[in-house]
């Protein structure tokens, strides 16, 4: 059998390669790293997480928790590696990013049916089955070829920022405390409190700090889910206090009270030697990041091992171009997977790689496709991004709003979400062996 060409060994491409190979289908996986790096990728490994090390909530009352559970039950490579290299993060699934990426790479490289081809792909292959999983930072040459391939369509984009990392050693623990919000789970976060006066000075400095120049960036082009902290700050004095700096459920042991605001740090590696600033994605100039973030008392001597950066994220107008299996409507031998399809986030990118590979495997083996119902998170996401009635298409995180409601009333949002998740998992079970 001719190998399937996959372009990009990120989260979606690695998942897709694995799902095809485990179903007996050979894969030629093309990855340009380490010869050529995108502006946000730094390592030679596959499945590199470009910003946060968190795959977000791992609870079934949360839609991304459901999406993870579905993928786990269906044998996802990315979920297995994430679970295998998790670091404590309250109710979230966070990973040691290097150990995780090394594990993904090891699995892919050692599979006998996957051949890795190093180097940039600059054209869409003219024949054969293809999955394009080159991500939001697809290289310019390939992005140009994709644009040409869809002359009928607009090419959409938005801006995505990453948060800085600091060393644990450099955090002043005299001015910080370990806790999880509302004491749920284990006390995994470092909490850096600020008084009203400290916050006022910090907020004023943040609002006027110098931003790095990013071509074509204006505040209105940010995705609400990952807005730079300085853009959020400019929306008003209290915006951060109700957002990433909210103190709810965090009592400072020194005072026994909730502080005015709290900056949370999450463990970034298994050893706990590096932490990331939760919600602090930013595109300030690097010296400005150091100056302003060091105004947080616990970070006054912080050593930054990586600064935040921002990049343009490109995606297709999927509702008009792709079908429910992420296949190109006008050329079904080509599928797209990952963030380039307009799904937003690590787990969502993984889910699209999973689904498109399962469909392709079934097609190549002469089996009927698996039609994941809208009740499942995997299905709901694919149906949303291929829904032609969505006119102004924006990047989409999984959420319960795109899953059909229950046919009966349930008291309380958490209970309702838990029931939606149970229904989804039953629907998945009803599909049998996938």
Ligand X SMILES: Cc1cc2nc3c(=O)[nH]c(=O)nc-3n(C[C@H](O)[C@H](O)[C@H](O)COP(=O)(O)OP(=O)(O)OC[C@H]3O[C@@H](n4cnc5c(N)ncnc54)[C@H](O)[C@@H]3O)c2cc1C
Q: What is the token pair recorded at 340?
A: 């380039």
The least distance separating ligand X from the CB of residue 161, rounded to whole angstroms, comes to 6
- 11 labelled binding-site residue: yes
| Smallest separation, CB 266 to ligand X (Å) | 11
Question: For residues 411 and 393, what is the distance between their CA atoms, to the nearest angstrom?
Answer: 32
Using Cβ positions, the residue closest to ligand X within the complex turns out to be 10
Q: Is 243 annotated as a binding residue?
A: no
146 CB-near residues (< 8 Å, 6+ apart): 124, 132, 138, 155, 316
Give the Cα separation of 107 and 9 in Å (integer): 12
Cβ proximity to ligand X: between 49 and 206 the closer is: 49
CB contact at 8 A, 93 and 58: yes
Q: Measured from the CB atom, is 193 or 282 closer to ligand X?
A: 282
Interacting residue ranges for ligand X, rule: CB under 6 A: 7-13, 30-33, 38, 40-41, 50-52, 120-121, 133-139, 142, 160, 162, 311, 313, 338-340, 345-346, 349
Choice between 62 and 203, CB closer to ligand X: 62
The answer to whether 250 is a known ligand-binding residue is no
Among 43, 108, 101, which residue's Cα sits nearest to residue 269?
A: 101
The reply, when asked if residue 236 is annotated as ligand binding, is no
Q: CA–CA separation, 367 vs 350, rounded Å?
A: 23
Toward ligand X, which CB reaches closer, 6 or 194? 6
CB of 283 to ligand X, least distance (A): 10
Output the DSSP codes for 329-367. TTEEEEEE-SGGGTB-SHHHHHHHHHHHHHHHHHHHTTP
State the CB neighbour count (10 A cutoff) for residue 324: 18
Alpha-carbon distance of 420 to 312, in angstroms, equals: 35
Q: Are 57 and 33 in contact (CB under 8 A)?
A: no
Which is closer to ligand X, CB of 10 or CB of 90?
10
10 annotated as ligand-binding: yes
**How far apart are CB 34 and ligand X at their closest, in Å?**
9
Q: Cβ distance 177 to 253 under 8 Å?
A: yes
Coil, strand or helix at 58: coil
Q: What is the phi/psi pair of residue 245, to 5°?
A: -100, 15
CB of 37 to ligand X, least distance (A): 7
Measured in Å, how far apart are the chain's first and last C-alpha atoms? 21
Q: What's the closest the beta carbon of residue 197 comes to ligand X, in angstroms?
A: 31
Nearer Cβ to ligand X (46/372): 46
* Cα gap 395→338, rounded to integer Å: 11
Give yes or no for a contact between 268 and 97, defined as CB atoms under 8 angstroms apart: yes
* Residue 8 annotated in ligand binding: yes
Minimum distance from residue 36 beta carbon to ligand X (Å): 7
Handedness of CA 334, 363, 349, 35 (dihedral sign): negative
Binding-site annotation, residues for FAD: 8-13
User: Which amino acids are annotated as binding site, given as ranges?
Assistant: 8-13
């Amino acid at each position: 059998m001719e190998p399937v060409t996959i372009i990009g060994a990120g989260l979606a491409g690695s998942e897709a390669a694995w799902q095809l190979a485990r179903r007996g289908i050979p894969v030629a996986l093309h990855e340009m790293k380490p010869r050529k790096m995108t502006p946000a990728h730094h390592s030679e490994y596959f499945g590199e997480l470009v910003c946060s090390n968190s795959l977000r909530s791992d609870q079934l009352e949360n839609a991304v928790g459901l999406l993870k559970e579905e993928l786990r039950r269906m044998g996802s490579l990315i979920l297995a590696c994430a679970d295998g290299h998790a670091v404590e993060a309250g109710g979230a699934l966070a990973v040691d990013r290097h150990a995780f990426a090394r594990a993904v790479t090891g699995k892919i490289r050692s599979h006998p049916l996957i051949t890795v081809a190093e180097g940039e792909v600059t054209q869409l292959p003219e024949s054969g089955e293809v999955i394009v999983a080159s991500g939001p930072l697809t290289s310019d040459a390939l992005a140009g070829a994709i644009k040409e391939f869809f002359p009928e369509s607009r090419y959409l984009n938005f801006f995505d920022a990453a948060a800085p990392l600091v060393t644990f050693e450099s955090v002043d623990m005299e001015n910080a405390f370990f806790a999880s919000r509302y004491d749920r789970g284990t006390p995994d976060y470092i909490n850096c409190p600020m008084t009203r006066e400290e916050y006022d000075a910090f907020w004023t400095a943040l609002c006027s700090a110098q931003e790095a120049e990013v071509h074509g960036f204006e505040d209105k082009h940010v995705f609400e889910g990952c807005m730079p902290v300085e853009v959020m700050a400019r929306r008003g004095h209290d915006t951060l206090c109700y957002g990433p700096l909210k103190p709810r459920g965090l009592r400072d042991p020194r005072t026994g009270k909730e502080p005015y605001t709290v900056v949370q740090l999450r463990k970034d590696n298994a050893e706990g030697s590096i932490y990331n600033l939760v919600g602090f994605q930013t595109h300030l100039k690097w010296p400005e990041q150091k100056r302003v973030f060091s105004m947080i008392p616990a970070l006054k001597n912080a050593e930054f091992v990586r600064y935040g950066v921002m990049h343009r994220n490109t995606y297709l107008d999927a509702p008009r171009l792709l079908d429910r299996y992420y296949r190109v409507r006008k050329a079904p031998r080509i599928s797209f997977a990952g963030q380039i399809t307009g799904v937003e986030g690590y787990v969502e990118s993984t889910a699209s790689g999973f689904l498109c590979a399962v469909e392709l495997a079934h097609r190549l083996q002469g089996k009927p496709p698996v039609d994941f119902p809208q009740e499942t998170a995997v299905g709901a996401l694919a149906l949303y991004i291929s829904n032609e009635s969505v006119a102004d298409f924006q990047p989409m995180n999984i959420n319960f709003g795109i899953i059909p409601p229950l046919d009966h009333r349930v008291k309380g949002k958490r209970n309702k979400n838990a029931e939606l998740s149970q229904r989804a998992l039953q629907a998945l079970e009803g599909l049998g062996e996938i």
